[in-house]
Amino acid sequence: MAVALPMESNPETMNKYLQKLGVSDKWRMADVVGLEEDALNWVPRPVLAVVLLFPLSDAYEKHRSDQEQELERKGLQPPKDVFHLKQVLSNVCGTIALVHSIANNMNSIEIDDGLLKKYLHDAKGLDAAAKGALLENSSAILEAYREIVRSGGQEATEAEEIVNNHFVTFIHKDGVLFELDGRKAFPINHGPTSPERLLEDAAKVCREFIAREPDNIGFNVVALVPAQ
């Protein structure tokens, strides 16, 4: 089994990784320095995806469990046109967040032939669990991130590191704001949004994550935006 390195919420490293996977350099991850309206105005538009890094905690686990039980009780089915994959390996949530960001915006983003394009092609028609298993077996995608870390002069240890942070992605699809979390069985519907309001509406949900963790400061937000 491949050993995944934990990803930092670092746009520079993320962008090198995306380009290595074949994603067009016309798009990039950029820091979102604040979640209030004034700070959001500085983020380039259009925003195609928002990625939140947050600390794993008992509060998150309880919220996740309650949320999934409610969805199962309602008998909701996952939306067919949203690309969502389940996390299998530890430390791979950063890669999953980037895959969620790109895979749900293929109408806007060009991808060259390569590792990610092949994965997305092979994942067509699979359910979330099978998509996760396929990523687990796509060791070259995980190794590509390790190579980026090495090239940056960081030490890529072979031992799997235990991390207590997690990434989730927010996207717009068919007028709905979806939260995509590899640790959840379903995409989470957060209500209506639009391409123009995706960042503002995702920021509101991010603030709810932060409100559940009043004693934690380990939050960071980045967005997928046009390269300047």
Active site residues: 93, 166
Token duo for residue 162? 């235990």
Quick check: helix, strand or coil at residue 205? helix
Going from the C-alpha of 174 to that of each of 23, 97, 197, 202, 227, the distances in angstroms are: 23, 20, 13, 15, 25
Q: Is 199:47 a contact under the CB 8 Å cutoff? A: yes
22: left (phi over 0), alpha (psi -120 to 50) or beta: left
Q: Is 158:149 a contact under the CB 8 Å cutoff? A: no
Side chain identity, residue 102: I
Which residue in this structure is represented by tokens 């749900």?
Answer: 104
Cα 100 off chain centre by: 5
Cβ contacts of 213 within 8 Å, gap of 6 or more: 54, 55, 57, 59, 60, 219
